[in-house]
Amino acid sequence: MNEIGHFINGKIVADGSHSQDITDPATGDAVARVFLADPMITREAISIAEQAFPAWAAITPLRRSRVMFRFKDLLERHQDMLARMISREHGKVFSDARAEITRGLEVVEFACGIPHLLKGEYSEEVGSNVDSFSVKQPLGVCVGITPFNFPAMVPMWMFPIALACGNSFILKPSEKDPGVSLKIAELLQEAGLPDGVFNVLQGDKDCVDILLADERVAAVSFVGSTPVAEYIYRRSSETGKRVQALGGAKNHLVVMPDADLSDTVDGLMGSAFGAAGERCMAISVAVAVGSVADDLVVRLKAKVGELRVGPGLDVSPENDMGPLISKEHLDKVTAYVQTGVAEGAELVVDGRDKVVEGAGKGFFLGGCLFDKVTAEMQIYQEEIFGPVLVVVRVPDYRAAVDLVAGHQFGNGAAIFTRDGDTARAFAKEVTCGMVGVNVPIPVPMAFHSFGGWKKSKFGVLNMHGQDGVRFYTRLKTVTARWPKGERQSSGFVMPTN
């Protein structure tokens, strides 16, 4: 069985206090074992990153950019191999895994422009013979703690910008699908990144707690559930770290009566059931406004029932949806379905009845569709993180906006309409961080920033884009005078000219 260890100071370290199986979700079979870092290995990785930081920070931004360019080329050449690794460990279909690499690559491309992104401001003659300028300087050792659902893309939201800005980095990926993290580390090394600048620690909560407590760590980035995001934010802040922690979501798609229903249903199907709903930007609530509800549910029922569910690899034609990540998560999602039934929601399509040929012990669940869900129900209030779409009926546009405003999460929301005034009002009024207009999954491009509102994000700055550069640097402002002629005597009054 393949063994997966850590990547520290340019070498694979297959050691740890204990290990656990990595399971192929499509079969339920163990395919590898991952070593989890003990306190000694964790602290060693921090020491290595700390030692590597000064020399890497001293390298010019242009030379750091060239490493990113070479890394980008290597990612493109190995994209299919990386996608197969993701599909094998995570379960998502191959084309979706490949698209994940592409979206991560976009952040690498953004980081390639770091010489421009690090430019500061310069003001001449802010006072007599006095000039003022600002520079952006790296922080030191940065940590990224990433979830199972995007084992390549989410880390690439973080480390390309962190490295390009001159920081060293420790990645702590999910222990459920860690294989691709080591390959990424090897590609960075091949691209010319000095040993020790990028390290990978496989670990559990014990490893994370050490990273959060160690004062040598300057910044922590996290993506995961809201309870853990709050914990990461609090613990990191207590030790003076800069922190961005992205949490859960319950993303709404508002369907107006004038919407093109064919486009709307297609958008809902991909956004709700792609990657088995294991996306923080998945649409999990369809808000049917007025008379559109009945027709919307009829169309969705037909489409959800036709979903092709099965393994993510080596199947032709490719399935629409693969398995969930684990048996525990499958049980959790199916328990939510039963809760919805008990709460009185109408289960229009029951994915628990889906038969997947040759599934064996795989963690499969068909698409589930609920209608007549209300805001008080648990299946509306909580993040399910699975292939479950709920329909909430509201009488008008204002009720739809108020529904979104009343939810604890504020990651993303979308509206489908042909009316420009309605779309513009929605974009202005809706209380969430990312908004789509006739776009079901409004994930910003790499040169914009990703982040939600309310309990979907903890910390001020978002990920990638300009906020990413701000997060991984600190601003220094220099005010300089070069006297001409005779020197003035001491002055005790604040200069004003």
Total domains in the fold of the chain: 2
In a domain, 450, yes or no: no
Decide if pLDDT at 441 tops 60: yes
Domain boundary among 388, 406, 437: 437
In a domain, 397, yes or no: yes
pLDDT grade for 20, boundaries at 50, 70 and 90? very high
Higher pLDDT, 356 or 438: 438
pLDDT (tens digit per residue) in 288-322: 999 999 999 999 999 999 999 999 998 889 999 99
pLDDT (tens digit per residue) in 134-189: 999 999 999 999 999 999 999 999 999 999 999 999 999 999 999 999 999 999 99
Mean pLDDT of 454-469: 97
Query: Alpha-carbon distance 313 to 387, whole Å?
Result: 19
pLDDT grade for 497, boundaries at 50, 70 and 90? low
In angstroms, how far is CA 195 from the centroid of its own chain?
A: 26
457 backbone dihedrals φ, ψ, rounded to 5°: -155, 140
Mean pLDDT of 68-74: 98
Task: Count CB neighbours of 292 within 10 A.
Answer: 20
27 and 117 both lie in a single domain: yes
Angle (CA) 100-104-108 rounded to 5° is 160
DSSP structure class, residue 45 = H
Mean pLDDT of 473-477: 97
In a domain, 378, yes or no: yes
Query: Alpha-carbon distance 37 to 32, whole Å?
Result: 16
Residues 6+ apart with CB under 8 A from 69: 112
Task: Count CB neighbours of 189 within 10 A.
Answer: 17
pLDDT (tens digit per residue) in 99-117: 999 999 999 999 999 999 9
End-to-end CA distance of the chain: 73
Which of 165, 207, 280, 368 is the catalytic position? Answer: 280
* Among candidate residues 69, 24, 385, 359, the one with its CA nearest the CA of residue 179: 24
Helix (H) or strand (E) holding 46: helix 39-58
8 A C-beta contact, residue 138 and residue 57 = yes
290 and 162 both lie in a single domain: no
Instruction: Tell me the average pLDDT of the chain.
Output: 96
181 and 113 both lie in a single domain: yes
Query: Alpha-carbon distance 390 to 287, whole Å?
Result: 9
Higher pLDDT, 261 or 488: 261
* pLDDT given at position 240: 95
Task: Count CB neighbours of 298 within 10 A.
Answer: 12
77 and 219 both lie in a single domain: yes
Encode the chain in three state secondary structure: CEEECEEECCEEECCCCEEEEEEECCCCEEEEEEEECCHHHHHHHHHHHHHHHHHHHHCCHHHHHHHHHHHHHHHHHCHHHHHHHHHHHHCCCHHHHHHHHHHHHHHHHHHCCHHHHCCCCEEEEEECCEEEEEEEEECCEEEEECCCCCCCHHHHHHHHHHHHCCCEEEEECCCCCCHHHHHHHHHHHHCCCCCCCEEECCCCHHHHHHHHHCCCEEEEEEECCHHHHHHHHHHHHHCCCEEEEECCCCEEEEECCCCCHHHHHHHHHHHHHHHHHCCCCCEEEEEEEHHHHHHHHHHHHHHHHCCCECCCCCCCCCCCECCCCCHHHHHHHHHHHHHHHHHCCEEEECHHHCCCCCCCCCCCCCCEEEECCCCCCHHHHCCCCCCEEEEEEECCHHHHHHHHHCCCEECEEEEECCCHHHHHHHHHHCCCCEEEECCCCCCCCCCCCECCEECCEECCCCECHHHHHHHCEEEEEEEEECCCCCCCCCCCCCCCC
* pLDDT given at position 353: 82
8 A C-beta contact, residue 379 and residue 343 = yes
Mean pLDDT of 259-284: 97
8 A C-beta contact, residue 233 and residue 245 = yes
Two structure tokens written together for 72: 């980008």
395 and 466 both lie in a single domain: no
In a domain, 491, yes or no: no
Decide if pLDDT at 371 tops 70: yes
Share of the chain above pLDDT 90, in %: 92
For the CA atoms of 372, 378, 384, 387, the dihedral, rounded to the nearest 10 degrees, stands at: -20
Task: Count CB neighbours of 428 within 10 A.
Answer: 8
Which residues are registered as beta bridge partners of 131? 480
In a domain, 380, yes or no: yes
Q: What is the pTM of this model?
A: 0.95
In a domain, 487, yes or no: no
346 and 321 both lie in a single domain: yes
299 and 229 both lie in a single domain: no
Give the CATH number of the domain where residue 24 resides: 3.40.605.10
Question: DSSP assignment of 70-113, as one string?
Answer: HHHHHHHHTHHHHHHHHHHHH---HHHHHHHHHHHHHHHHHHTT
* pLDDT given at position 140: 98
164 and 260 both lie in a single domain: no
Share of the chain above pLDDT 70, in %: 98
280 and 419 both lie in a single domain: yes
276 and 193 both lie in a single domain: no
In a domain, 216, yes or no: yes
240 and 261 both lie in a single domain: no
* pLDDT given at position 421: 98
Give the CATH number of the domain where residue 320 resides: 3.40.309.10
* pLDDT given at position 487: 63
Catalytic residue at 432? no
13 and 98 both lie in a single domain: yes
In a domain, 346, yes or no: yes
* Cα-based distances in Å from 92 to 20, 106, 273, 285: 21, 20, 11, 22
Decide if pLDDT at 445 tops 70: yes
Domain that holds residue 72: 2-247+456-478
